[in-house]
Amino acid sequence: MREKIAADLKTAMKAGERAKVDALRLINAALKDKDIEARGAGKTLSGDDELALLQKMIKSRQESLEIYEKAGREDLAGKERGEIAVISAYLPQQLSEAEVAEAVKAAIAETGAASIKDMGKVVASLKAKYTGRMDFGKASAAVKAALSG
């Protein structure tokens, strides 16, 4: 993924795509920060960690986008939309709502979860299988609904 980001950055710079260059530099900076943090803990960054970081970046920008839209700042909202589009290009295809529901049912059956107390096990199982492909905020709500009846 990092090689693709570096290649895309060079291409965007040559093409003069300023917004894309900025977004790709943000991704690179976030990945380097995460690398340094992991190295300090004696670990290396896995592919799942990278995907989780990109999802976190998208979530942050979506929250900012909502704020800018409510405040009527279309210029800043447009910038956030552009960054979301660039970051999303490096994530695997997201699961549809129906696929998320199926994955939740399968995880509940697999873990033998019977009550809301088992929610952590189910979400951990989902994270192990679907990192980068699912919004875990929405998935947690689906798990909670399924377990509470």
**Residue 40, phi-psi category: left (phi > 0), alpha (psi -120 to 50), beta (remainder):** alpha
Q: Are residues 133 and 63 in the same domain?
A: no
Q: Are residues 44 and 73 in the same domain?
A: yes
DSSP state of 117: G
Chain segment 55-74, per-residue pLDDT in tens:
899 989 999 999 999 999 99
Domain enclosing residue 29, as ranges = 2-88
Q: Say if residues 132 and 91 touch (Cβ distance below 8 Å).
A: yes
Q: Are residues 39 and 110 in the same domain?
A: no
Q: Are residues 14 and 48 in the same domain?
A: yes
Q: Is residue 149 very low, low, confident or very high in pLDDT (cuts 50, 70, 90)?
A: low
In degrees to the nearest 10, what's the CA dihedral of 92, 90, 138, 49? 90
Instruction: Work out how many domains the chain is built from and give that number.
Output: 2
For residue 128, the domain's CATH number is 1.10.10
Chain segment 69-92, per-residue pLDDT in tens:
999 999 999 999 999 999 988 888
* Contact residues for 80 (Cβ-Cβ < 8 A; gap 6+): 61, 62, 64, 65, 68
CA–CA distance, 149 with 146 (Å, rounded to integer): 6
Stretch 24-51: mean pLDDT, rounded?
A: 89
**65, two tokens:** 């986008």
DSSP state of 116: G
Choice between 113 and 59, residue whose per-residue pLDDT is larger: 59
pLDDT at 40 over 80: yes
Q: Are residues 69 and 136 in the same domain?
A: no
User: What is this structure's pTM?
Assistant: 0.71
Q: Are residues 72 and 113 in the same domain?
A: no
Q: Are residues 31 and 77 in the same domain?
A: yes
